[in-house]
Amino acid sequence: SQTEPIKVMISGAPASGKGTQCEMIVQKFGLVHISTGDLLRAELSAGTEIGNKAKEYMNSGRLVPDEIVTAMVTARLSQQDAKEKGWLLDGYPRSFAQAQSLEKLKMRPDIYIVLDVPDEILIDRCVGRRLDPGTGKIYHIKNFPPETDEIKAKVITRPDDTEEKVKSRLQIYKQNAEAILSTYSDIMNKIDGNRTKEVIFKDIDALLSQVQREKEKTTKLG
Ligand code: AP5
């Protein structure tokens, strides 16, 4: 029988580098990246019903109601590509209720990664962040400036990336972090996210490769 693909959850405060690491993880492991922030921003710009409901919450840095986000995520996780290639869930669960919804559906990751970054660095990362609206690629005005003048001219700033909104997003994250962790403490791996993105990826790569090897072993034995 074929080895089951790996299932990964990545968590961490706003701007801890989840999206940046996910780009690198997808490139190496070919998992289906499911980012609730990206999915919601796509609904918003397409002007869908979900997008219209989510807009005021997102732009003010508050959490979108659980039932909206949970329906969106479970639908995406159930699609064929996620079952075949494995998944990388980014930005969900963000509340205890969300974690319990996944548990009820028996959607459990093999590993739960938490990126750990000090508060003062998070604020600078958010305020300096820029996005290429075409490719979705993540930049930072100082740390990772756009490669060309053409990209530089078209990058955008997220409306929730002001200092004030980042502080309230961070507070909401902290209020929920512990309760979510209690669901995944047995598979939790905390990673120092205050290093270069390549060094951070090395650690994540080692962890995921280990998970993959263990799955292959169990398949052979079974
Ligand atoms: P979401 O898009 O998930 O935002 P977030 O969790 O606040 O995370 P970010 O996207 O801000 O940061 P990131 O960790 O991906 O960092 P990045 O790699 O970009 O959610 C947005 C909103 O949607 C929420 O506020 C909420 O309203 C709603 N929402 C989403 N999910 C929800 C849910 N489950 N329930 C309810 N509501 C939900 O990096 C940040 C910056 O730092 C970049 O500029 C990058 O270039 C730079 N950087 C990255 N790594 C490094 C490094 N190692 N060194 C230096 N700079 C770095």
Q: What's the pLDDT tens digit per position in 78-114? A: 999 999 999 999 999 999 999 999 999 999 999 999 9
Beta-carbon-side half-sphere exposure of residue 112 (alpha carbons within 13 Å): 19
pLDDT of residue 220: 77
Per-residue model confidence (pLDDT) at position 46: 96
Ligand 1 pocket check for 41: Cβ under 6 Å: no
Summarize the confidence of residues 4-9 as an average pLDDT.
Answer: 96
Site to probe by mutation for ligand 1, drawn from 64, 95, 96, 107 as the one with most ligand atoms within 8 Å of Cβ, is 64
The protein residue with its alpha carbon nearest to ligand 1, atom 1, reads 37
Q: Which stretches of the chain are assigned E, i.e. beta strand?
A: 7-12, 32-35, 87-90, 111-116, 129-131, 138-140, 188-192
Helix, strand, coil proportions of the chain in percent (round to 5)? 55, 15, 30
pLDDT of residue 109: 98
pLDDT of residue 219: 79
Write down the catalytic residue from 41, 76, 165, 169.
Answer: 169
| 214 neighbors 35 (Cβ within 8 angstroms) | no
Closest protein CA for atom 40 of ligand 1: 15
Ligand 1 pocket member 125 (CB < 6 A): yes
Contact 21, 10 (CB under 8 A): yes
Confidence of residue 206 (pLDDT cuts 50, 70, 90): very high
Whole-model pTM: value is 0.95
Most informative mutation of 9, 10, 20, 127 for ligand 1 (most atoms within 8 A of CB): 20
pLDDT in the model for residue 222: 63
Q: Which pLDDT score, from 0 to 100, does residue 99 have?
A: 97
> Model ipTM?
0.96
Q: Give yes or no for a contact between 143 and 33, defined as CB atoms under 8 angstroms apart.
A: no
Tell me which amino acid residue 15 is: A
- From the alpha carbon of 160, which atom of ligand 1 is closest? 25
Confidence of residue 221 (pLDDT cuts 50, 70, 90): confident
Rounded to a whole number of angstroms, the distance between the first and last alpha carbons of the chain is: 9
- With pLDDT > 90 as the criterion, what percentage of the chain qualifies? 93
